[in-house]
Chains A and B, each alone.
Chain A
């Protein structure tokens, strides 16, 4: 079983998001980066499959500038066997179709049985990359996996639907599955894993040019038209004002 896991490096949920001077993208200085949340679950799912079957290979793949080697190392430290870094220095790549083309070209010859990716990146939020890659490589696809079960060339996926519903879908391998958060409990890297990661191979791929089909023209902080009553002061004053609002304005106490 050969499993690819796409791990993206994205700004952490507490990171500042400074917009650059021509408003075309963020100013990368000052951003603190982490592994995209659902990619962490995707990696854990792959590692568990490998461990249960006691055979196979987990390959983490990330596309971006050199800084993304940090999430690659994290993946290796958790137990991935090797990595592919698709090097790309442009910082405002917001086109899933061209990114997916680069991924598909880089991994076509690897003939993975499974590709796991996150259902959506926390920065761009496109929710497409893994499905497009699967389609390009002629694989079965499924999105929003909340559980996976493997047996004899078939993967069964519990897909999340709207409003608390689920559905089991089965398909033959190879398959590209996008993973929803919450389907397992991602591990932390062990000290041994961190040491071992240093010796693992990262294959660096430098793609040539590519077509861009959509791009971000301008990024900005949204303006709110809602009139929010802001409650300010010391903690005690805030508490008093909240109780007062609960009692006299919202009338819930």
Chain B
């Protein structure tokens, strides 16, 4: 095959970003006349194989091994590396998940092949493909090219391609084998857990007032709290506000916090980095106040104000009361 998609297991289901990679692969395959295969592995490989075989891809490679029954970066990196060496695809596609961040750089090092990460777009340029990623916290885009004949490791940002567009079909399933022994696995993992939510449930809030680093300092946070109260909403925040200890982690919206979709999300001094945006882009109305007219948050905002939150927020609370 030309494109190998590595499917991530999400508790027995194909990870949503795996489906998005199928769409990406189909897009490239159509353009360049490429063939596609998908790799499933781990303890749920059977179920995943069945799910993936319903898409328009050439074949599904199924890899079962005792040492892959739970995730380890060493095991997964070694397994994918061996499959890539055997099958020699031109491209290996991944969704840019936390798991992929953890183990795929190791494959890059093992094979000395570049890993082009977190792409939002790809375009052909003659026989080459240009992959576009965000840089400088989403403020700029960069068109990246590989200077290597491959296999190239490529990951796509969440929602870069829509899983709704993945064409269905029926693929055959083939078993693949690798050599893996326990001495190769240097880490021991415990079960995943969630921290106490502290009673803050933002997922059902109708109105969310969310503060970012642009609020400046801890003493200014009550200003946003007052606004939330005046408008009858809940207070939330971006990560730096939590990191600084100005609000507890239960307020954090984003890839490592809560995902919300209120009727209105009011973003105060939030730049709009992807890890924040994935947690709030489903909001019906996004209103952003930011002093920087180029802030990426304006790319997804329905209403935008270029201005100083410290001036606007107190007056807004007053007007609402």
Contact = CB atoms under 8 A, between A and B. Distances in A.
Interface of A: 11, 13, 17, 19, 37, 94-97, 100, 119, 122-128, 131-132, 135-136, 140-144, 159-172, 180-182, 185, 212-222, 224, 226, 228-232, 235-236, 238-240, 242-243, 245-246, 250-253
Contacts of A123: 135-136
B120 to A, nearest CB: 9
A171 B302 contact: no
Contacts of A144: 98, 101-102
A17 B98 contact: no
Contacts, number: 239
B195 A164 contact: yes
Contact of B105 (A96, A215, A238): A96
Interface in B236-271: 239-240, 242-243, 245, 249, 255-259, 263-264, 271
18 contacts: A11-B136, A13-B137, A124-B135, A125-B117, A125-B135, A136-B109, A141-B106, A163-B257, A218-B143, A222-B296, A226-B299, A226-B300, A228-B298, A229-B303, A231-B305, A238-B307, A243-B316, A243-B319
B244 to A, nearest CB: 8
B145 interface: yes
A17 B140 contact: yes
Interface stretch (B47-55, B58-66, B159-167, B181-189): B181-189
A164 B102 contact: no
A172 B304 contact: no
Given A228-B303, A243-B316, A166 B193 contact: yes
Interface size class, chain B: 35 or more
B311 A235 contact: yes
A228 B295 CA distance: 13
A239 B190 contact: no
Interface SS majority for chain B: mixed
A246 B255 CA distance: 28
B135 A252 contact: no
Contacts of A37: 240
Contacts of B179: none
B105 A252 contact: no
A224 B288 CA distance: 15
Which of B113, B136, B312, B319 gathers the greatest number of chain A CB atoms within 10 Å? B136
Interface of B: 73-74, 77, 97-98, 101-102, 105-106, 108-110, 112-118, 130, 133-148, 186-195, 206-207, 213, 231-233, 239-240, 242-243, 245, 249, 255-259, 263-264, 271, 284-285, 287, 294, 296, 298-307, 311-312, 315-316, 319-320
- Of all A-B residue pairs in the complex, the 10 with the closest CB atoms, nearest first, are A182-B243, A135-B109, A213-B114, A131-B105, A128-B105, A224-B299, A214-B114, A140-B186, A168-B190, A171-B187
Nearest to B141: A222
Contacts of B136: 11, 17, 122-123, 125
B141 A219 contact: yes
Given A162-B97, A163-B256, A215 B140 contact: no
A239 B189 contact: no
A115 to B, nearest CB: 13
A224 to B, nearest CB: 4
Contact of B102 (A132, A140, A143, A166): A143
